[in-house]
């Protein structure tokens, strides 16, 4: 990814749409490949094994061109969260500012302006000013382009060196170093690639682009693809980091960034039932209901109208790719909600539902009787008591009967472009309702199974308040109300009873890093709780509250038997 200087600095890269034919230039190196390695992924049918490393690279390049053709038809959500860092007096990185991008990647005819956040265009204008004599700006397109190894990947531009075989999770890979030739045009990939040894798809590439023009430079990144369907290895995670990159203006660039992609199969997820699937009852099965009170009473009608607005909003968010489909995580959240209801002897007249927002910023809100909590917030909460604190606040809105605007019950309100979602969907509450919900939530918690464990919830709020000035985009809500600000936090009464925040204690975990608790299937948008084994911390610097960490997915192959597993992305301490 290049940085250009034109008064200001910007990160950019242009995705081109031309895919030239394979070059037949030869680059040979000894490598033995068995017939088993060349087995096709479906049916166990063997294809002719490559006879040399040169043949292997022919297949890798051919599969990479096929990947680019596949991506032309994909329109996944792409989210980048970035933290600008500085080193403290002990040399440990700490955030000083953050940035956030959310949009939809479209490679069908070059990238398009599809930003979801209320900032200037997604990929065409500079956003999010940083302080200093010269401003440095990040374009989300610069990170999104890291899904592509090279849009003109040909052997005539590169020297390839076989390094070794290596497993990434359960997938055996060929590890290959890639360097552009001296005669190659600027902007070619330089680094290392991992190629799975059945169909020779690139599953990971780690490096930068090279050579650097005199007035610009590129960033380093680590890009991962998952086997989401048979024959389809698609981008899912990108980690980027620079610690001491010197700019042409004499400044040092120090940051970490995570980019996630999901929503590949939204069309299948949301497709309407075919006409042939409509069941028509026979006349004999139709029963006369005249003996029943068919008309809703005013109270029931009001509840049905509110539920219609609720369902419309949830359905629209799921179709866009903002909301996960109903799943197992919802049931876990609902268990905590039921614990609060039962121990407080509360019997609501309608069911409470829980859903997961797929974005990273920390937010929660209610849509009617549905509690929505973001993936990022679920990631960083340290324990169940802290989760109960968040859910109790939203549950209190429902218990207190705080009404939502029912304008969304009119279906035409859902007719808007996906990128306008954050402007057209608004679930914020009045400040008086927020204060009442805080008071009620404390009452619910004091009568709950979590009453003796609220110290950890208070610690979380302390850590959040302490980090709020440096991480405004992480705590900035896009659909609901803020959990914290520079001056206050939600349910601040818990702060007084919380223990002292002690960053140097390894046994006090106030908040977790991003990405360690929730697994997201980028194809189906389903989420589940990560089942990673607990890791003993070697030092306090590994606590990393709200931090960005590298990705190390445990790769698996897609199984047509239905037992397809999602790669785990728990952060690995460095």
Specify the pLDDT at position 290: 54
Distances (CA, A) of 283 to 276, 378, 536: 19, 51, 67
Q: Quote the DSSP letter at residue 517.
A: S
Record the tokens describing residue 125, joined without a space.
């204008």
Record the tokens describing residue 154, joined without a space.
């040909």
H-type helices in 384-453, by residue range?
384-399, 421-424, 431-446
Query: What span, in angstroms and rounded, lies between the C-alpha atoms of 5 and 394?
Result: 47
CATH number of 2-15+36-264: 2.50.20
**Is 354 strand, coil or helix?**
strand
**Which residues in the chain come in under a pLDDT of 50?**
1-46, 111-113, 119-137, 272-276, 564, 570-574
Domain edges within the chain: 2-15+36-264, 299-542
Specify the pLDDT at position 248: 59
Distances (CA, A) of 550 to 404, 537, 556, 566: 39, 17, 19, 17
Residue 200 near residue 97 (C-beta atoms within 8 A):
no
Q: Which residues of 97-115 are buried (b: 16+ CB within 10 A; e: fewer)?
A: bbbbbbbbbbbeeebbebb
């Amino acid at each position: 990814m290049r940085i250009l200087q034109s008064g200001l600095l910007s990160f950019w890269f242009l995705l081109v749409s031309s895919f030239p034919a394979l070059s037949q230039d030869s680059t040979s190196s000894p490598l033995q490949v068995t017939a088993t390695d060349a087995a096709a992924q479906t049916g166990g049918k063997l294809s002719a094994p490559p006879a040399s490393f040169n043949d292997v690279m022919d297949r890798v390049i051919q599969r990479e061109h096929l990947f680019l053709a596949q991506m032309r038809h994909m329109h996944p959500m792409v989210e980048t969260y970035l933290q600008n860092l500085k080193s403290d007096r002990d040399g440990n990185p700490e955030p000083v500012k953050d940035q956030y991008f959310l949009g939809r990647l479209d490679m069908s005819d070059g990238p398009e302006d599809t930003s979801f956040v209320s900032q200037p265009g997604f990929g065409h204008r500079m956003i999010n000013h940083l302080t200093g004599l010269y401003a440095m700006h990040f374009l989300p397109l610069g990170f999104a382009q890291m899904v592509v190894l090279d849009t003109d990947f040909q052997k005539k531009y590169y020297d390839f060196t076989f390094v070794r075989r290596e497993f990434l999770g359960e997938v055996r890979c060929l590890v290959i170093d890639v360097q552009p030739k001296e005669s190659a045009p600027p902007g070619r990939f330089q680094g290392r690639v991992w190629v799975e040894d059945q169909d020779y798809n690139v599953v990971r590439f780690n490096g930068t682009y090279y050579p650097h023009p005199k007035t610009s430079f590129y960033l380093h990144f680590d890009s991962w693809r998952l086997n989401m369907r048979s024959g389809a290895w698609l981008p899912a995670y990108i980690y980027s980091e620079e610690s001491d990159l010197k700019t042409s203006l004499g400044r040092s660039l120090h940051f970490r960034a995570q980019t996630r992609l999901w929503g590949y199969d939204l069309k299948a997820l949301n497709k309407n039932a075919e006409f042939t699937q409509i069941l028509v009852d026979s006349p004999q099965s139709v029963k006369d209901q005249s003996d029943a009170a068919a008309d809703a009473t005013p109270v029931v009608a009001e509840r049905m109208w509110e539920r219609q607005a609720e369902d419309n909003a949830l359905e629209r968010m799921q179709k866009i790719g903002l909301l996960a489909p109903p799943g197992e995580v919802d049931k876990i959240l609902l268990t905590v909600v039921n614990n609060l209801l039962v121990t407080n002897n509360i019997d609501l007249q309608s069911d409470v539902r829980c859903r997961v927002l797929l974005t990273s910023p920390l937010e929660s809100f209610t849509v009617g009787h549905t509690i929505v909590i973001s993936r990022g917030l679920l990631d960083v909460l340290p324990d169940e008591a802290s989760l109960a604190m968040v859910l109790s606040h939203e549950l209190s809105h429902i218990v207190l009967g705080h009404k939502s605007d029912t304008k969304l019950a009119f279906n035409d309100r859902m007719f808007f472009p996906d990128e306008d979602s954050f402007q057209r969907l608004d679930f914020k509450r009045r400040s008086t309702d927020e204060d009442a919900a805080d008071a009620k939530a404390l009452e619910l918690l004091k009568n709950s199974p979590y009453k003796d464990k609220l110290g950890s919830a208070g610690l979380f709020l302390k850590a959040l308040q302490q980090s709020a000035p440096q991480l405004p985009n992480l705590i900035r809500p896009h659909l609901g109300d803020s959990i914290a600000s520079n001056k206050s936090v939600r349910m601040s009464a818990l702060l007084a009873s919380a223990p002292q925040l002690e960053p140097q204690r390894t046994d006090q975990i106030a908040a977790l890093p991003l990405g360690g608790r929730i697994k997201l299937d980028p194809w189906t948008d389903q989420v589940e709780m990560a089942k990673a084994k607990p890791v003993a911390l070697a030092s306090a610097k590994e606590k990393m509250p709200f931090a960005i960490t590298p990705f190390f997915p445990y790769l698996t192959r897609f199984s047509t038997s239905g037992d397809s597993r999602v790669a785990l992305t728990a952060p690995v301490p460095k």
